[in-house]
Amino acid sequence: MSLGLGVIGCGSVFAGPYRAMIERLRTEGRVRVSALYDVDDAKRRGAAAHYDAEPELRGPDAVIGAADVDVVLVLTSMNEHGPLARAALEAGKHVLVEKPMATSLREAAELLELAETSPGLLVCAPHILLSPTFRAVHGAVRNGRIGELLTARARYGWAGPWWGEWFYAPGGGSLFDLGVYNVTSLCAVFGPARRVTAMTGVAIPEREVDGRPIRVEAEDNAQVLLDFGDARFAVVTTGFTMQRYRSPAIEIYGSEGTIQLLGDDWAPEGWELWRNDDGAWRVFPETDPHWQWTEGLRHLVDCVESGRPTVTRPEHAYHALEIMLAAQAAGRDGVARTIESGFPDPLYDASFSELDAARLAHDRRSHDGL
């Protein structure tokens, strides 16, 4: 039986990438769009007509409360993510929420608690841990191909959206929209960050959005320094301030070699490996050129159907949010922040028993202050 999807937010994120993923899953007979809502009447009606859905739903609650909705997709502006994901979990639905999972740690902590007790699964973007290229990089690091990890550099940015004022309003910004990818990638490789400091600010104070000038209030330029302990550091360069680039998204430097993830971590193009013992670069081409950053939806459907745990866990999104909020605060006063939460190692192809064992080990390490 196909799963009923309830979509909240029919803007640019839905209209392109997620809609394409939904169409593939519909073709496979695995999902159907049961309800949708957007504050923009034209977007709501256009999407409703395409999916033969009710066009007169008057709010997110109508989507969440629909009896034939099994999975809720939260694709709205960022400040709405936390409250909507919470309402959907409280209603017993499975939830996919776009990044960030919330814009405050209090909201995010509530989602973590609900994810433990709700019958629904919670999957939080970004979904980069699911890409075949990232899995290969993660496996190479865990297998010691480049020795002990020492330092890293990550980068993602572009010139910035010309739609959606909320990107530049409080609760938006380049860290929440872009930097979250790099932060997640680095923590999946190095483990949880221990301290964070940053320089953040508004480099372009006025922009034209939706055809009119607006004042930029959220940071559009950031350099974030992550301390993973034992003098292992990494830097994230991100912002709505980059026109073009050709350098790798992620560079990971170890005691015996280097790994470079080519392309962007959300749109990988393979990876490269340098080992001192080999004295040459080895290139691993992209194994799935059609992989999309919306694969989190397919993963959620897979896990609902099979009963398996999700690879991307709410704790990952919480840790990334704590880092980004700390970076924003450090950008204001120049003071480094200690990070309290953890980032469990991704468990690929794990059973529930393996996931429970890993969670207990992670909780024990966090309790012992390791």
Pick from 130, 212, 202, 127: which is nearest to 163 by CA? 212
Write out the chain's pLDDT in tens, 370 residues: 899 999 999 999 998 889 999 999 999 999 999 999 999 999 999 999 999 999 999 899 999 999 999 999 999 999 999 999 999 999 999 999 999 999 999 999 999 999 999 999 999 999 999 999 999 999 999 999 999 999 999 999 999 999 999 999 999 999 999 999 999 999 999 999 999 999 999 999 999 999 999 999 999 999 999 999 999 999 999 999 999 999 999 999 999 999 999 999 999 999 999 999 999 999 999 999 999 999 999 999 999 999 999 999 999 999 999 999 999 999 999 999 999 999 999 989 754 444 444 444 434 333 344 3
Q: Rounded to an integer, what distance in angstroms lies between the CA atom of residue 25 and that of residue 271?
A: 28
* Stated pTM of the model: 0.93
281, amino acid identity: W
Torsion on CA atoms 59, 64, 66, 71, rounded to nearest 10:
130
Q: Give the per-residue pLDDT at 355.
A: 45
The single residue listed with the structure tokens 């999902």 is: 31
Helical packing angle, 81-90 and 105-117, nearest 10°: 20
Q: Rounded to an integer, what distance in angstroms lies between the CA atom of residue 298 and that of residue 304?
A: 10
Q: Give the per-residue pLDDT at 350.
A: 59
Tell me phi and psi for residue 361, to 5 degrees: -65, -40
Tokens of 123: 């999957």
Check residue 242 and report its DSSP letter: -
Q: Give the per-residue pLDDT at 156.
A: 98
Angle at 286 between CA 282 and CA 289, to 5 degrees: 165
Q: Rounded to an integer, what distance in angstroms lies between the CA atom of residue 369 and that of residue 276?
A: 35
Half-sphere exposure of 260 (CA within 13 A, CB side): 13
Q: Give the per-residue pLDDT at 353.
A: 46
Q: Give the per-residue pLDDT at 349.
A: 75
The single residue listed with the structure tokens 């709505």 is: 240
Pick from 122, 108, 249: which is nearest to 176 by CA? 108
Q: Could you tell me if 99 and 124 are in contact, meaning their C-beta atoms sit under 8 angstroms apart?
A: yes
Report how far apart, in Å, the C-alpha atoms of 366 and of each of 59, 316, 361 are.
40, 14, 9
Check residue 91 and report its DSSP letter: T
Q: Rounded to an integer, what distance in angstroms lies between the CA atom of residue 249 and that of residue 215?
A: 30
